[in-house]
Structure 1
Amino acid sequence: MSKKSDLLVRVRYLNPVPNPPFPPKLLDISTDINRLGEPSYLNHLAASTQLPMLVDSEMGMPLDLNEYDGIWDGQDQSLNPALDAGRVHHPIDVALLAPFNPPPEANGDVKAPVATEVSWMRNNNYLTRKNNARRKEAAEAKAEEVVDASEAAQIMAIEKSFHDLYEQDPKEIKHPDKKKRGLTVVESYDILPDVESWENSYALVRFPERPSAATAINPAATASSPRLAKAILRPIREDEDQQLIEFYLPKEEDLTNLEEAYERAIPSDEVDNVYAVTQEDPNDPTLPDIFSHVHYDRIRMYEVLSAAPPTKEILVSFQEDQNDGEQEDGSDEDDERPKKRRKGVYYHEINFRTLLRKTRAKRREEVALTADLWDKAVVGYRQPAGKDEKEREMSKAQVSDPTWVNEELRKSRGGDNMAELQGEAIQDEDVELDEEAQKIEAAVHEEEDNDED
C-alpha cells in the first residue's frame, strides 16, 4: 500500500430512503383560545393530583401556645420534649460528649477552632490575604501603647521633630518605603506656609475629560489654555441630595478685555449703582463706561459625584535660591525690584475637592423648572471692601502672626493664660501679660531683691 487512499473503502451501493408517495397533510382543528382561561379547564388537573396527608390544621407547627402547660412560666418541656429523657450518661462518657477544642499550649486558654486550609482547593491569593488578615488581628490584639494626647504633649512632639531634623544629617535620611531605600537626598528645602496667598481659597475639581468649548450646537469648538484658565464654575443647588455645576467660558477675543477689567476694578460702594443700571436695561450702552466687564457664555452642565475637603492633598510650590543683590530677609537693595521669597517649599491647603461628570442634554430642561439658570453672565471686578480685607487679614494671621495660637488658646479658655500651667511654650516678649500676671511677676522680683540684700 503505497498510498493513503488504499486504506479507504468506497461505498459503491447506496440505499437511500424513498420519498413518501404523497406530501404531508396539515390538519386544521378549530379551537377557542378563551377556554384556557376558564376555571373548569383545571378541574381534571385538580382531580388527578393527590393531596398529601396533613398532620393537622397547623401543618405540624403549633401556633396556639396556650395549649401547652407552663409555656408562659419558662417551662417548655411539653412543647419541646426530650428525645430520651430517661437516659442517664455515665460520668466518663459525659466528658467525651464535650466539643474537642484543645488549647494551643499546655496552660493556655481554649481558642476557637481554626478552619483547615486545603491549598489545592483554594487560590493562593485568597490564602495570602487570609493569612495577612490573621497577622493583623494578632498584632491588634497586643497591648496598645498609651499615647499622651494632651496639648502639651503634642507641642513637645512637634518641637522634637524640629530638633531631630536639625540634628540628623540629610545624607543619612532613608526613604520610609523599603522598595525605595536606595534613594538618597540630593537637596533639602524648608517647608513653609505660603503667606502671600494663604487668605485665598483653592478647590480641586476633577473633570471626566479635558474641558473645552464644545456645545450641542458647535461640538467641534475648542478652547485655548489661557481661555480655560479664566473659566467660571457656578454651583446650582437642585435639591439636598444632588448638586449641579454650570461651566462658563469667555470668548477668545475677550481675554485682553478681561485683563483690562481687572485693572479697572470699581470701588465697592459703586456696586449698587451697577446693579441698578443692569436691572433697568441689561444692554444699556453706558454700562461699559461705569463698569468694565466681559460676557461669559454657558458651555455645559456637570453633575457633582462627590464633594469633600481633601485630607492628603495640598498645593506646593518650589522656590529656588535668591538672585544676586537680594538680602537674607527677602528684601531687595533696590526697592523698585520685585521682592522674592527665601528658598523653600511653600504649601497651601486645599479647601475643597469635587468630582464631576457630564449630564444628559435633557437634564438642563428639567432643572430649568426649579433652578435659576443663566445662558450668559456679565463678569467684572470690584475692589475689596473693608470687611473683605479684615477677613483676609484674619485668615492670613494663622501663619503670619506668631501670637495667633496663644490668642486662640486664651479665647478657648475664657481669656485666661493657662498655657504656661500646661507646659506649653508662650513667648512672653510678644504676648503682653495681663494685670494678675504682672502683679505675680512683680512680687517674685521683690522677693529676689530681698534675698540678695
Structure 2
Amino acid sequence: MIVDAECGMPLDLGKWECLWEQDADDSELNPDPNNLPVLDPKDQFLLLDPSASFGTHANHAASGSGTSTPSQHVTWLRKTEYLSRDSSYRQSPHGEQRPVAEAPIDVSRGAQIRDIEASFGAANDNFDLSTLKHPNKPNVTAVDSYEVLPDANIWANAYDLFRFSERPGDKPRPPDEDDPRLDCAVLRPMESEGDHFLAYYLTKDDDTAVDFKRTRLERPVNGVQDEDPTTFHFVRDYEVVKVEQEVSNELLLVLDDGQRNVKEELIPESEVMPSQPRAKGAYYKNIERKMLLKKKRINSYDQDTKKWHMIKVQHIRMDDDEAKEREEAEAEVKDPNYLLSAMDADAEGEVADAEGEVDTGDHEQAGGEEPIDPLDVLGD
C-alpha cells in the first residue's frame, strides 16, 4: 500500500504495471474514449443529472404514500432564510415603504461654529452637580466641577513620564515622608561604549530644592536669573528598561481655582508667568513619552571621562530662534486661526496672502526697479 503525500489517501499503485515497467500497456489507466469499459452499477448514478436524481427519489417516495407532490430541487449550498437577500425585497402587507428623504446638512464654517457653541450650552445649562454619579464608587459624591482646558502656560514644553523600579534618592527615608528634591531632579543622557543610560542628579539638601522651585516659580518665563546657580550632585546611573512613544491615556492635570498665589509686585508687565491668575478650570497637557528606569550596575572598571559629578543649573533668556519656536507651539492653543493658517501653507512653506496669491519672497522695489542682490553689494 502506497500513501500519496499530497492528498493523504491510500492508493494501491501496484495494480498498474505501466507505472513501473517501460512499454507496458496503459489502457487501464488511459482507456480509449471510443471504447470505454463498463461502469460498475454502484457508480452509474454519478453520471445522472442531480436534479433528475432528486426528482426520481422524490417521486418514488410520493408513489409509496399514494400521493404525488411536485419535486423541488434544493442545492446543498442553500442560503439561509435570514441571510437571503430575497426576503429584504418582500413587500409589506401595508404597501411599499419608501425611505424618508433627510434634510441636507449645513457643513459651512459658520454652521460648525454655531453647532459647537450650542454644544457648550447643552452641557452646561441646567447642570446639577448632585446628579453626577461615580462609575465605580456609588458612595462618592461630587463637590465641585471644572472646565477642562489646555494649559497654555506650559503647552510649548515637552514632558516625559519616568517611572522608577524603586524609590530614587541617596538618603533612606520612611515611605510616608516626602522628598522635595525628587520633583526637581536632573537627568543627563549618557553613552559609554555603545551603552545608553541616564545620569541622575539631586540637590545636596532639601532647602536647596525648595529655594530652587520657589525662585523658578516667581521668575518670568523669559527672565534672567540674578541668584547664584543651583548645584546638583551626581547620585547614580539608571538604565532605560521600557519606552512608550505614544501615551494617550495619561495627562498632566492642574486643578486651578483661579486664585493668585504670588504677590502682584512679583509679576512684571508684559510677562506671562505660570502663577499668573487665570480662570477656574482643569488645565491639561499631554505627555510625550513614558519610560521605566532601573538602577544601573556599578562597574569599577568603567572609565567614563564624560561623567559629571556636579551640575550647576541657571536660568537664561531664550534666543530669537527659541522664542519663535515657543510662540509657534503656543499658537496651537492661543491662536484661533491656527488651523486655517496651517492649511494655507503649502508643502514648501509658502503662505498665501489675503488675495490668494502665494508669497515667494521676491518683491520689486518702488519705481519698477529690480531687487538688489546682496552679493552685488557685499561681494562674494
User: TM-score, normalized by length of structure 1?
Assistant: 0.44
Residues 88 and 360 (structure 1), Cα distance of their counterparts in 2 relative to 1, 3 Å cut = farther
1:89: how far off? Answer: 3.2
1:406 aligns with 2:340: yes
Whole-angstrom distance in 1 between the partners of 2:278 and 2:232: 37
Whole-angstrom distance in 2 between the partners of 1:174 and 1:401: 36
Question: Equivalent of 2:158, from 191, 198, 201?
Answer: 201
Q: Letter of the aligned partner of 2:204 in structure 1? A: E
1:396 aligns with 2:330: yes
Whole-angstrom distance in 2 between the partners of 1:104 and 1:307: 50
1:384 aligns with 2:343: no
8 Å Cα contact 1:231/1:247 also seen in 2 = no
Residue in 2 aligned with 1:88? 47
Q: Which has the higher helix share?
A: 1
Q: Letter of the aligned partner of 1:194 in structure 2? A: D
Residue in 2 aligned with 1:99? 76
8 Å Cα contact 1:254/1:294 also seen in 2 = no
Whole-angstrom distance in 1 between the partners of 2:83 and 2:182: 73
8 Å Cα contact 1:257/1:294 also seen in 2 = no
1:322: how far off? Answer: 4.2
8 Å Cα contact 1:103/1:109 also seen in 2 = no
Whole-angstrom distance in 2 between the partners of 1:204 and 1:190: 24
Whole-angstrom distance in 2 between the partners of 1:381 and 1:180: 47
Q: How does 1:218-297 map to 2 (within 5 A)?
A: 225-236=179-190, 244-253=196-205, 256=208, 259=211, 292=229, 294-297=231-234
Secondary structure at the counterpart of residue 394 of structure 1: helix
Secondary structure at the counterpart of residue 165 of structure 2: coil
Cα deviations across residues 185-235 of structure 1 (Å, max 9, x unaligned)?
Answer: 754433332222222221122233332337xxxxx6889621212222233
Residue in 2 aligned with 1:163? 118
1:308: how far off? Answer: 1.0
Number of residue pairs aligned between Structure 1 and Structure 2 = 270
Residues 175 and 377 (structure 1), Cα distance of their counterparts in 2 relative to 1, 3 Å cut = same
Residue in 2 aligned with 1:300? 237
8 Å Cα contact 1:315/1:348 also seen in 2 = yes
Whole-angstrom distance in 1 between the partners of 2:277 and 2:238: 41
8 Å Cα contact 1:306/1:356 also seen in 2 = yes
1:309 aligns with 2:246: yes
Q: Letter of the aligned partner of 2:342 in structure 1? A: E
Q: How does 1:313-352 map to 2 (within 5 A)?
A: 313-322=250-259, 339-350=276-287, 352=288
Residues 156 and 188 (structure 1), Cα distance of their counterparts in 2 relative to 1, 3 Å cut = farther
Residues 99 and 87 (structure 1), Cα distance of their counterparts in 2 relative to 1, 3 Å cut = closer
8 Å Cα contact 2:129/2:145 also seen in 1 = no
Alignment RMSD (CA, Å)? 5.5
Residue in 1 aligned with 2:68? none
Question: Equivalent of 1:354, from 282, 290, 312?
Answer: 290
Q: Letter of the aligned partner of 2:334 in structure 1? A: S
Whole-angstrom distance in 2 between the partners of 1:372 and 1:89: 92
Q: Percent identity?
A: 21
Residues 231 and 295 (structure 1), Cα distance of their counterparts in 2 relative to 1, 3 Å cut = closer
Cα deviations across residues 169-192 of structure 1 (Å, max 9, x unaligned)?
Answer: 222997699878999875443333
8 Å Cα contact 2:187/2:199 also seen in 1 = yes
1:318: how far off? Answer: 1.6
Q: Letter of the aligned partner of 1:344 in structure 2? A: G
Residues 60 and 244 (structure 1), Cα distance of their counterparts in 2 relative to 1, 3 Å cut = farther
Secondary structure at the counterpart of residue 225 of structure 1: coil
Secondary structure at the counterpart of residue 237 of structure 2: strand
Residues 87 and 190 (structure 1), Cα distance of their counterparts in 2 relative to 1, 3 Å cut = closer
Residue in 2 aligned with 1:446? none
Residues 258 and 341 (structure 1), Cα distance of their counterparts in 2 relative to 1, 3 Å cut = closer
Secondary structure at the counterpart of residue 351 of structure 2: coil
Residue in 2 aligned with 1:416? 352
The unaligned stretches of length 5 or more in structure 1 are 1-52, 68-76, 111-147, 215-219, 266-289, 327-331, 418-432, 437-453
8 Å Cα contact 2:201/2:234 also seen in 1 = yes
1:343: how far off? Answer: 1.6
1:383: how far off? Answer: 0.8
Whole-angstrom distance in 2 between the partners of 1:435 and 1:353: 40
Whole-angstrom distance in 1 between the partners of 2:207 and 2:12: 82
